[in-house]
Amino acid sequence: MISLQNISKQFGRFKVLTDVSFSCNKGECIALIGPNGSGKTTIIKSILGMVIPDSGTITFRGKSIANDYNYRSDIGYMPQMGRYPENMSIGQVLGMMKDIRKIPENLLDEDLIKSFGINKLLDKRMGTLSGGTRQKVSACLAFMFGSQALIMDEPSAGLDPVSSEILREKILIEKEKSKLVIITSHVLSELDDLITEVIYMQDGRMLFQKSLHALRKDTGEEKLSRAIARVMRQQDESDGLQEARVNTSELRN
Ligand code: ADP
Ligand code: MG
């Protein structure tokens, strides 16, 4: 459904993404993980056309997204930091988005609005909201238009545990409908039982893309956080081994 081929991006002299390629299909729930600053948000923004890569191609449903904005209506996006007109009320923001998207009222998905209790807060101005409530509004908007692909950037950052669980259950329901879900998170524990695949980023490069099943099998670890830790250790060890080989061959020469 979404495919990246050899995507690179530089901000000034700083390389943020180097030759990133991966594909993801509908029905999958993909965890895009990696340390802070490894390029996760830049990848997501590139998929959404908010960042234009220096090189490489991104396709959505087989078509390049370059110079074509229509594909975006099929992606529900929850940004890491939602920015809204501070003077508008929650109700006005929701109304404005409905006007822009022009989707019949009966096709709107307002489940999260109900379960987060947003209906009671419609008159509150965006500028007065706590970070968590702002996140809830972002989540409501991401799911509201029934998009076939859902991209969420650190969705549970700032959410209280009950709201996190509500969001998690909603993600599971949508995943069962064969949608594509991409989630970035640095809290690995909340991704267990949710995801089918892992893409691991480091310093702007993709280190691996693996199914959760393969990751568990390869590492013998059930928990995602432990499995990732083990892969990283293996990586360090093989790097160390390679260095040792280089050093010994240098000694011989
Ligand atoms: P992550 O989401 O994995 O934490 P980001 O994709 O947000 O990482 O950022 C990757 C790196 O790119 C960071 O070092 C960040 O400071 C830098 N970066 C992101 N956006 C910009 C920008 N618009 N201009 C300059 N540097 C940027
Ligand atoms: Mg980020």
Ligand 1: atom nearest CA of 44 is 6
Q: What CA dihedral angle connects 8, 149, 175 and 231, to 10 degrees?
A: 0
Which residue's alpha carbon is nearest to atom 6 within ligand 1? 39
Q: What is the pLDDT of residue 238?
A: 73
Local confidence pLDDT in tens for the 253 residues of the chain: 999 999 999 999 999 999 999 999 999 999 999 988 999 999 999 999 999 999 999 999 999 999 888 999 999 999 998 999 999 999 999 999 999 988 888 899 999 999 999 999 999 999 999 999 999 999 999 999 999 999 999 998 889 999 999 999 999 999 999 999 999 987 777 788 889 999 999 999 999 999 999 999 999 999 988 998 888 887 777 776 666 666 665 555 5
Q: What is the pLDDT of residue 68?
A: 87
Q: What is the pLDDT of residue 234?
A: 79
Pocket test for ligand 1, best of 7, 9, 36, 41 (most atoms within 8 A of CB): 41
Q: What is the pLDDT of residue 248?
A: 60
Q: State in Å: Cα 204 to ligand 1 middle.
A: 9
How far is it, in rounded angstroms, from Cα 87 to Cα 39? 32
**pTM, two decimal places:** 0.91
- How many domains in the chain? 1
Ligand 1: lining residues by beta carbon, under 6 Å: 11, 14, 16, 34, 36-42
Q: What is the pLDDT of residue 249?
A: 59
The residues that bridge with 2 in the sheet, in sequence order, are 24, 60
Give, in order, the Cα–Cα distances in Å from 199 to each of 4, 8, 13, 26.
12, 16, 25, 16
Q: What is the pLDDT of residue 83?
A: 92
Ligand 1: atom nearest CA of 204 is 10
- CB neighbourhood size of 19 (10 A): 15
Q: State in Å: Cα 12 to ligand 1 middle.
A: 11
CATH number at residue 118: 3.40.50.300
Q: What is the pLDDT of residue 233?
A: 82
Domain that holds residue 124: 2-252
